[in-house]
Structure 1
Amino acid sequence: MLKKISLSCGLIAVLIWGCYSLLHQRVDAFLSQPVNVTNAELFSVKHGQSLRALLVIFQQKHWLDDAIGSHFIHRFYPQLTHIKAGTYQIHPGESFKVILSRFVAGDEFQFSITMIEGSRFKDWLNKLSQSPHLQHTLSGLTEPEIAEKLGISHKKLEGLFLAETYHFTDGTSDLDILQRAHVKLNQVLNQAWQNKAEHLPLKSPYEALILASIIEKETSVDAERKRIASVFVNRLNKKMRLQTDPTVIYGMGDQYNGNIRKKDLRTPTPYNTYVIRGLPPTPIATVGVASLQAVMNPEKTNYLYFVASGQGGHVFSKSLSEHNRAVRNYLKQLRNK
């Protein structure tokens, strides 16, 4: 009798073990199946969303087949049930287990926003407001109010953010992007200031930033930046006015319609360097690393003037007579075109 009971218990144990192993295989097979997406997809896990709710959505989208293995994931892989809220990217051919692991790790998809060199603060605000994945908190705020939120002492924020690509997760605030861009600018600016050439006619990192913003608007040719910086440094050292058109344009504000007249060059504004001496009061644009480095370590030249070459670069001159010839050549090219 005991022998029969022992044999029956053994058979039951084998049967249970067999069922357990078969069920484990079903769960593994379910987790190993690739999701049925043809292109990369973004998927948002909501706060408090359970694995069961997530499975229902995946099956409704026909990304996964409904199978018995889906009902026992929590039994065999409890670690895969602790999914985190966020927005994730799902790639074609990925297994469901890989995707769940990403949800558990909170490895969210990184969106990006690029602020280009030479743009203005108003361009930043416009671009931030158009990003659907940012939390918008700046609407209706004045520039001084934004400065206060950022803890910036300057009331005018022009040029106080580094032109770069910034990555962020869904729901990041627009204020956070500005904060990161401002911190990054200060890091780059202060490091460049510490490694600057000697005897520059600049009293502070902020003055260097102002000059870098002018260079940013004068050229997009990397090879010219340090040479253009040398022109402005030479003029500052000689107490000459900078006489740079971008400052005139900035000072004109909304009155600028694409053309600068002689009248505009003579019209006083705080930024018109044909009228004022030295630097304008603030930067006139967003700068990149290259322009900051050019200001801190300009070429050593005797150039005092430059004008467009008509071929994408500039012609540099040491005297006014040379400069006038270069201007006439440029005008001649324009007429011939």
Structure 2
Amino acid sequence: MDNLPDISLFKHRLDELAAQMADPAFFQNPRKAAEVSREQQKLEQLVADHRAHEKAGRDIAEAQALVKDASADADLRELAQAELPDLEQRREALRASVLRGMIPPDPTDSRNTVMEIRAGTGGDEASLFAAELFRLYSRYAEGRGWKVQPMSSSTSERGGCKEVIFLITGQDVYRQLKYESGVHRVQRVPVTEANGRIHTSTVTVAVLPEAEEVDVQIDPQDLEITVSRASGPGGQGVNTTDSAVQILHKPTGLIVQCADERSQLKNKARAMTVLRSRLLKLKEEEERAKYAAHRRNQIGTGDRSERIRTYNFPQNRLTDHRIGLTLYSLTQVMEGEIDGIIESLQRVDFEQRLAALTGVEYSGFRKDADGDE
């Protein structure tokens, strides 16, 4: 349990960074220099913790040997015995720190995020819940000081959302929200239900890291762009000009529509942002599928067909089926208080990645435990 994976590759990388920083032209690109400096500091800490872990192991071995040495002074043996718990605790803390440092960060964690919420099965009830999820994530974003920018929407007759696409900008947005992708199931009595029967509806949520042009190369020849007159409420400018934009990416069949802005150029720019983010997500899912073939357990951070969560209003209960988490605080959750859920998902994800690194399976993971009948 105390053995650590080899860190020679990390030491080699540290040497590479030192060589880069020794180059006289290193600080000509301040942004790149800052990134390299942060990586160097992290690796230096990793190497230092690894050395401290090895020293703690030697100290423990010496103390244990002294305790077993019948010829040693009794006071020294007693002192060594007393020091052992602290030494072992320090070694375990250093081990955890080293393993955390060895797990590679997700390169998209710091990205802004495009979220797409769509009503699934359940008709009007599904569209109403889609609107409530949009409010939930908007409240959560506001609480963290993030900015929410609507990009495209389609409303239902009862005031819900058939579809809403929006961009959230801020610090580490994708890191916090990436586990929200999937099918969200709601169980409650609709206001139109005369007999008080509980209905089940679904909403799909997609969370996409905002892609930059360098992330995804799009050949203009692969795009089919059409413009049309926007429909629905929105003012005279929206309804009298050809401002609505639809982009078809022919190789993948992806279609993006945007009509919220009066300007055709703005709608095209927003549609391209969504398209790039969807294409980047496709690339990520392909890579994750290859990696997942070697893992038994997966939290599931991207499959829109996966039922990830149930919101049971009669019981004031929320259940995340991926980790068996059940909370009886649905009222607070719907107000955007989802930090506890996200932290639990992040913790399980860390344990799984740690298990992949060390070969020790995480026993606390419980797939699809929901407590539903």
TM-score in terms of structure 2 length: 0.21
TM-score in terms of structure 1 length: 0.23
Q: Identify, as 1 or 2, the structure richer in strand.
A: 2
Q: Identify, as 1 or 2, the structure richer in helix.
A: 1
